Structure 1
């Protein structure tokens, strides 16, 4: 999802963006003209097949159609040093997907043993294959998600009971669902389990013995 645009400022930026026509700061000058930051970001994320047959990032525009770097003459580094694919780069010359993969491996590896539990390998694969790697990285780097995955990495075994002992959260149920989907955990009636847990806690909250009968 692209970031919301701020109101344009014709006084501060009198020359409009060549693509959107709005008055924002020019951050790049390509063969088709100057681009504002919003159009620059969009160009780096535009993928498809160019008229020449090249498949990958299409940052240029010729006759209102997205084109590859070679056809458009756009100079832009989108070559990931990790996987070699064309993609928007995040850090160290690597794309979002490669960085996400490294973060996932680090969090799900037991630092004491230096290895990842076999039961967590399907989970790692699922997290690495998130449709939007940038959103996945943002999610996984939240402190509570990072802490949860690190705790899971050192769990002696992976079971529903293991998850039940961890603090209740949406993250716990999301990860449980992934492991269930990939056959690591057996299917179970989660609504029934939640009801039983709620019922037990409700009884504990009742202080008056007369209300327990």
Structure 2
């Protein structure tokens, strides 16, 4: 029998999954997904909010290339202004339109800062041979995924070993980084090895960073 609560159950305005408040989630272990923001269209869950703030392109409303967290009347992505004002999404550190990861920096700025510390050659700078790799990782379209990768226990020691020249920056040296490569699909690893035979090591590192970016892209939604 359907209860009045079921009939009035709030849902995410985007994915239509049942949602609950922070209080219900924490205190009552509510199985519904948590509301992250309430926009003019209705409550938006954490997953849909994160996706919205990862969406960039040409706004269907004003034609400007920028962050597109909103949805137009036809369901096309639009900027915050054309969506009626969803909030101020501007990083105080770099000025880029993006969700804040900390109080004063977006995920891209935090990733760049943390990776620079790990790749420090001992003089406060990134080892020159690793600069292309550093730039490629920092340019990941979803830097939060890069932060998750960087937080894995085996990743910083391997990067430190490369930065301090404890592991030779050669094809053979890179091939010894098994724990790192274990996170990559076998097909990607084979492609990197083929690239390593035909290109110098510094050219292979951005390819590895790009492979990591592809690995951490969310899967496309299934079509019913």
Normalising by structure 2, what TM-score? 0.63
CA distance in structure 1 between the partners assigned to 2:49 and 2:203 by the alignment: 46
Q: Which has the larger radius of gyration?
A: 1
CA distance in structure 2 between the partners assigned to 1:163 and 1:172 by the alignment: 12
Which consecutive unaligned segments of at least 5 residues does structure 1 have?
A: 1-9, 188-213
Structure 1 residues 185 and 38, CA gap change in structure 2 (3 angstroms): closer
The one of the two structures with greater contact order (alpha-carbon pairs below 8 A, sep at least 6) is: 2
Structure 1 residues 87 and 186, CA gap change in structure 2 (3 angstroms): closer
CA distance in structure 2 between the partners assigned to 1:161 and 1:53 by the alignment: 46
C-alpha offsets along residues 26-74 of structure 1, whole Å, 9 cap, x if unaligned? Answer: 4322222222333322322232222212222222223133221112223
Offset of residue 141 of structure 1: 1.9
CA distance in structure 1 between the partners assigned to 2:126 and 2:50 by the alignment: 36
What is the aligned partner in structure 1 of residue 133 from structure 2?
123
Q: How many residues align?
A: 175
Offset of residue 101 of structure 1: 1.2
What is the aligned partner in structure 2 of residue 139 from structure 1?
149
Which consecutive unaligned segments of at least 5 residues does structure 2 have?
A: 21-34, 205-224
C-alpha offsets along residues 129-178 of structure 1, whole Å, 9 cap, x if unaligned? Answer: 334322222112212110111122211784428827x9651426989x59
Contact 2:132–2:202 (CA under 8 A) maintained in structure 1: no
Offset of residue 96 of structure 1: 2.0
After TM superposition, the structure 1 = structure 2 runs for residues 12-23 of structure 1, keeping only pairs within 5 Å, are 14-23=9-18
CA distance in structure 1 between the partners assigned to 2:93 and 2:52 by the alignment: 21
What is the aligned partner in structure 2 of residue 79 from structure 1?
90
Normalising by structure 1, what TM-score? 0.65
